[in-house]
Structure 1
Amino acid sequence: MTSLKLKIGVSDSDRTRPLAFGEAKIAGVDADIELMGVQALFNKQLAEHTYDVCEFPLATYLRTLERPDRPYLGIPIFPSRHFRFSSVFVNKAAGITKPADLAGKRIGLMVFDMAAAVWQRGIFEEHYGLPRTAPIYVTGGLEAPRSGDEHPQYYPDQFTIEHRTDKSLAAMLSTGDIDALYTARAPSTWPSETVGRLFENPMPVELDYYQRTGIYPPMHILAIKRPIAEANPGVTKALYDAFVAAHAVARAKMYEAAALSTILPWQLEALLDAEAKLGKDYWPAGFARNRAMLEVIIRYLREDALITTDFRPEDLFDGADILAT
């Protein structure tokens, strides 16, 4: 029987390497898998639509569901998660000690609809008293000036937004040209005499958020081109099963003591400590275990005015086999 040939693009992580190296198989699929950095992957896919299956920015995926062609179909696999409390950087002279202090301040952003920023805006409004429209948002390149958006963006009218093309956000944060930065990666100007983190010890804050909400926020989702999924019943479930298997391989490797799979000297202890604090299923796959989280991110996107549709979590996926996961 001929296998379905799929070109798959994913970021390089312990959760995806088992697929690239053949340790986790996709049933019925002849997979050509490419690993690359996240930003390069997203820019390539959103500009050229190179891959049949791709790790995809979560907020951007939801935005595609409002397009008439609805080009992608989600699979409830979330390859990247991050609490992001550790990813808010501040100019130390700006007097910012808590999220509410960001009202009226200038906050740098690389990509307005990136999931990190959607979560940060939503969490800080809902749990920390910072209205999402209170700051001034400044877009630009993190480490170098950028002439424009690397992939299509929409800027809702309710926000005050400036676009800077003359300086990098990292440099502007250091000099005080912006007061803070919402980011998916640390700026080169941190740590320094002028730049610190809003939460210098983020773990207790992140644990408190998780204990109150049960959410370990996903940044990315797995998506397949919708015509391929519709023409090949069962392929979404095969992809789901393979990515679940790859995650299990990644976890098992954390137990390997003969040769550590990471540079962490206490990698197993780190895993066991995380599972003790968050539970063994802190990185859940499947629809049922992510339904409540999806309701929150849909609400945050609606409150951002990045989408206008009151989607149900079920609307992100298709097929009884996937919705039963």
Structure 2
Amino acid sequence: MARTLSVAVKSYPHTAFLTDPGFTAGGHPVAVEAADPIYRAFAPMVRELRYDASELALATFLQAREAGVAISLLPVVLSGDFHHHSLTRWPGSAELEPADLAGRKVGVRAYSQTSGLWVRGILHEEFGIDAKDVTWVTTEGPHVAEYVEPPNVERTHGKLLEVLERGEVGAAVLGPPALDGAQGPLVPIIPRWREAEEAWGVRHATVPINHMLTVRRDLLEAEPDTVAELYRAFGARIEQRTATAPDPGPRVRALRFGITDELVAGLQVAIDYALQQNVIRTPVTVAELLGDFTRHLGGSA
């Protein structure tokens, strides 16, 4: 009997197929590994290669690749969003403009969190605030054990919303799960953020990527047909979801399958931001990020 493939992904409409009775990839049954929130799966993937395939934050993949971790990126975007609205303050706290953040403390779950990557890039690009001008107060370390944080990163205790509420930081970067779960409205710091987000999207011709699909490199090399079948299954559900959404917002527009212009643009901006912020320290090209996929599946997937 074929061994079961372990796959760690969040439950989205475009990943529900993995639990369909009888679904297989390359003759392998699939077991969806529980991880809630999904970022709890990231460290086991990059430190232990625990899963055959895993959703992975883009910043974590960039760091894992730099550290030589044997995982491969597939051109499948599982989640993304604009992030101007992710930079928030607590209701009733002191009003802040983006320019006021220089010299202040800003909370983020981890310096390497992908939402933080996008927000710091926006602050630099649109407001002239460099990542090193801010003290980044974090509640967690990086998923990639080899990564060394910049000296302007501090650690604190508690959940990030609690850190923000007790005034330890003037502002915080909160990803979609935290924003969605916040009790009461947090106050975005970037003015006219909706217009600013759409303008960013037009300027860069993409929606920011948060999570993509990765696989163990040894599985890709040994069973490319299995990975290709899994890849096509994800693609079919993503294409179905994006095609049937009546008025797709950015979280749906972010979903992508295949090496498209939008994917390449999103990966390139992420690389540029990551190098600016010392999230990674070695230049890399989009073609190199997708090199394993191109070599093993480019002609068949």
Aligned to 2:272: 299
Within 1, Cα distance between the matches of 2:242 and 2:260? 22
Superposition deviation, residue 103 in structure 1: 1.3
Aligned to 2:95: 95
Following superposition of structure 1 onto structure 2, how do residues 15-164 of structure 1 map, counting pairs within 5 Å?
15-21=14-20, 26-37=25-36, 38-46=38-46, 48-68=48-68, 70-91=69-90, 92-97=92-97, 99-140=98-139, 152=145, 154-157=147-150, 159-164=151-156
Aligned to 1:173: 164
| AA of the residue aligned to 1:34 | E
Within 1, Cα distance between the matches of 2:188 and 2:282? 35
**3-state secondary structure, aligned to 1:222:** strand
Is the aligned partner of 1:225 residue 2:216? Answer: yes
Structure 2 unmatched runs, 5+: none
Following superposition of structure 1 onto structure 2, how do residues 228-307 of structure 1 map, counting pairs within 5 Å?
228-251=219-242, 271-274=245-248, 283-289=255-261, 290-307=263-280
Superposition deviation, residue 86 in structure 1: 2.2
> Do the aligned residues in 2 keep the contact of 1:314 with 1:323 (CA within 8 Å)?
no
Q: Can you list the C-alpha shifts for 1:230-277, whole angstroms capped at 9, x where unaligned?
A: 11233333222110112234457x5xxxxxxxxxxxxxxxx33337xx
CA separation of 1:27 and 1:251: change in aligned 2, threshold 3 A:
farther
Query: What fraction of aligned residue pairs are identical, expressed as a percent?
Result: 24
CA separation of 1:164 and 1:229: change in aligned 2, threshold 3 A:
same
Aligned to 1:213: 204
Within 2, Cα distance between the matches of 1:114 and 1:272? 31
> Do the aligned residues in 2 keep the contact of 1:113 with 1:153 (CA within 8 Å)?
no
Q: 1:316 aligns with which of 286, 289, 292?
A: 289
**3-state secondary structure, aligned to 1:154:** coil
Within 1, Cα distance between the matches of 2:15 and 2:142? 28
**Bigger Cα displacement from structure 2, 232-241 vs 124-133:** 232-241
Q: Can you list the C-alpha shifts for 1:143-188, whole angstroms capped at 9, x where unaligned?
A: xxxxx6676373443x5122113x5432332232210001212297
Give the root-mean-square deviation of aligned CA atoms. 3.0
Alignment length (residue pairs):
292
Aligned to 1:262: none
Within 2, Cα distance between the matches of 1:153 and 1:108? 22
Is the aligned partner of 1:203 residue 2:194? Answer: yes
> Do the aligned residues in 2 keep the contact of 1:75 with 1:322 (CA within 8 Å)?
no
| AA of the residue aligned to 2:283 | D
Larger radius of gyration: 1
Q: TM-score, normalised by structure 1?
A: 0.78
Within 2, Cα distance between the matches of 1:51 and 1:286? 22
Within 1, Cα distance between the matches of 2:174 and 2:126? 19
> Do the aligned residues in 2 keep the contact of 1:86 with 1:200 (CA within 8 Å)?
no
Within 2, Cα distance between the matches of 1:201 and 1:36? 35
CA separation of 1:77 and 1:188: change in aligned 2, threshold 3 A:
closer
Give every structure 1 segment of 4 or more consecutive aligned residues whose post-TM-superposition deviation is greater than 4 Å.
22-25, 148-151, 187-190, 320-325
